[in-house]
Amino acid sequence: MQAVQLQIAEQLKVQPPFADQNALEAEVARRIEFIKQSLKNARLKTLVLGISGGVDSLTAGLLAQRAVKELREDTGDTAYNFIAVRLPYQIQHDEHEAQAAVDFIAPDERHTVNIGPSVQALAAQVKAFEGQHASAVDFVMGNTKARVRMVAQYTIAGARGGLVIGTDHAAEAVMGFFTKFGDGACDLAPLSGLVKNQVRAIARSFGAPEALVEKVPTADLEDLMPGKPDEASHGVTYAEIDAFLHGQPVREEAYKIIVDTYTKTQHKREQPYAP
46-50 and 162-164 beta bridge pairing: parallel
Yes or no: say if 224 and 233 are a contact pair by the CB < 8 Å rule: no
Nearest-angstrom CA–CA distance, 245 and 5: 6
Q: What is the DSSP string of 165-181?
A: B----HHHHTTT-S-TT
Written as one letter, the residue type at 179 is: T
Yes or no: say if 164 and 154 are a contact pair by the CB < 8 Å rule: yes
Nearest-angstrom CA–CA distance, 9 and 194: 10
CB-neighbour burial class of residue 130 (10 A; exposed 0-12, middle 13-18, buried 19+): exposed
The phi and psi torsions of 260 (rounded to 5 degrees) equal -65, -40
Yes or no: say if 167 and 23 are a contact pair by the CB < 8 Å rule: no
Establish whether 56 is a catalytic residue. yes
81-86 and 46-50 beta bridge pairing: parallel
Catalytic residue among 27, 56, 230, 242: 56
Catalytic residue among 27, 94, 108, 172: 172
Establish whether 138 is a catalytic residue. no
Gyration radius of the chain over CA positions: 19
Q: Looking at residue 272, what DSSP letter applies?
A: P
Q: What is residue 49's three-state secondary structure?
A: strand
Yes or no: say if 229 and 216 are a contact pair by the CB < 8 Å rule: yes
Catalytic machinery residues: 56, 172
